[in-house]
Amino acid sequence: MQDPSIEIALIGAGTIGLSFAALHLTQNPNCTITIHDTRPDLQTYIQRHLPTYLPENANQEPYLARLSFANELPTAVKNAQIVQEQGPENLEFKVAIWAEIERHAREDALFWSSTSGIPASAQSREMQDPTRLLVVHPYNPPHIMPLLEVVPAPQQTAEAVVENTLEYWRELGRTPVVVKKECTGFVANRLAFALFREACSLVASGVVDVKELDEIVQASMGPRWTVAGPFKSYHAGGGEGGLTSFMEKIGGTVKNCWDASKEDVTANDVSVGGKWQEDVCKQADEAYGVVDTAERDMKTRKVLSAVADS
């Protein structure tokens, strides 16, 4: 039988790196992890923060026993079958580190960048073999959120690299989705920030306040979207005629909303740094103070497990 053990090198262990470490350790009993991060207090930082990402009340020893540290990059990547990078979001950093990783890693190692926006085709600029690199963009926090946007560099990343990447994540029960073009923000953030722009615009117009807008989303699209995305939802909304029929019946309302949205966004100057921003941020501070992410994450896990069970 093939040895199922797999070694993973995590380069950068901040918010995203720790969350990925927890994900691999808890979902993949066959993995060992080596962390490389230039933070001087790395070990105390990890000892303090990683447990908050691991299942509560579980014995954490078996997880931590599969975790080690490497001060030097070559040592970290030398035996790894997967090298996953989540260092600073900075093109020069990523270009330099991939060229170095390539020099020291195994020839069959998969190379994944967690970047939110720097395409693989740009990061691989100084690699000997740019076919090896792709983006695996998580939706924060990845130890909870199932989505991974897999973004190969078109005409560059090898098909086998994409396939092996998808296979790994499917085996872990995650939801990897291939994004066919290296578009700005990929897909999840494009959608999220489109809704966010509209939310800011509606608050800036005085239609609702920050808290009321959140209530509206939490009590409608929020629960719906864990079960059916916008296309399936509106396809269902059209009855037997599906989305075609929905657009025939509701298309006028959709058009009015899209037109009004464009006008309001312009009228309220909803651009980043626009004059609306200070007031909306102040409202968020007053409504929520510092958000308890532990409670948020606990509830999100319950929602996901309810959806998975049904």
Ligand X SMILES: NC(=O)c1ccc[n+]([C@@H]2O[C@H](COP(=O)([O-])OP(=O)(O)OC[C@H]3O[C@@H](n4cnc5c(N)ncnc54)[C@H](O)[C@@H]3O)[C@@H](O)[C@H]2O)c1
Which residues are near ligand NAG by CB under 6 A? Answer: 4, 28-30, 171-172
Under 8 Å between Cβ of 124 and 130: yes
Q: What is the Cα–Cα distance from 253 to 275, expressed in whole angstroms?
A: 29
DSSP state of 139: P
Q: Which does 5 bind (CB under 5 to 8 A by kind): ligand NAG, ligand X, none?
A: none
Q: Which does 30 bind (CB under 5 to 8 A by kind): ligand X, ligand NAG, none?
A: ligand NAG
To the nearest whole angstrom, how small is the minimum distance from the Cβ of residue 70 to ligand X? Answer: 10
Nearest residue (beta carbon) to ligand NAG? 4
DSSP state of 117: S
To the nearest whole angstrom, how small is the minimum distance from the Cβ of residue 73 to ligand X? Answer: 7
To the nearest whole angstrom, how small is the minimum distance from the Cβ of residue 22 to ligand NAG? Answer: 15
**Residues contributing to the site for ligand X (CB under 6 A):** 11-17, 36-39, 86-89, 114-116, 137-138, 140
To the nearest whole angstrom, how small is the minimum distance from the Cβ of residue 19 to ligand X? Answer: 8
To the nearest whole angstrom, how small is the minimum distance from the Cβ of residue 166 to ligand X? Answer: 19
Would you say 1 or 272 has its CB closer to ligand X?
A: 272
Would you say 172 or 243 has its CB closer to ligand NAG?
A: 172
To the nearest whole angstrom, how small is the minimum distance from the Cβ of residue 233 to ligand X? Answer: 26
Would you say 195 or 308 has its CB closer to ligand NAG?
A: 308
Under 8 Å between Cβ of 126 and 95: yes
Q: What is the Cα–Cα distance from 226 to 220, expressed in whole angstroms?
A: 11
Q: Sheet containing 175-178: give its strands across.
A: 67-69, 31-36, 6-11, 82-85, 110-113, 133-138, 147-152, 175-178
Helix axes 210-218, 188-204, angle to 10 degrees: 140
**Within 13 Å and on the Cβ side, how many CA atoms surround 195?**
12
Nearest residue (beta carbon) to ligand X? 14
Would you say 172 or 177 has its CB closer to ligand NAG?
A: 172
Closest of 127, 71, 134 to residue 102, by C-alpha: 127
DSSP state of 130: G
Q: Which does 138 bind (CB under 5 to 8 A by kind): ligand X, ligand NAG, none?
A: ligand X
Q: Which does 171 bind (CB under 5 to 8 A by kind): ligand X, ligand NAG, none?
A: ligand NAG
Both tokens of 158, joined, read: 């090898």
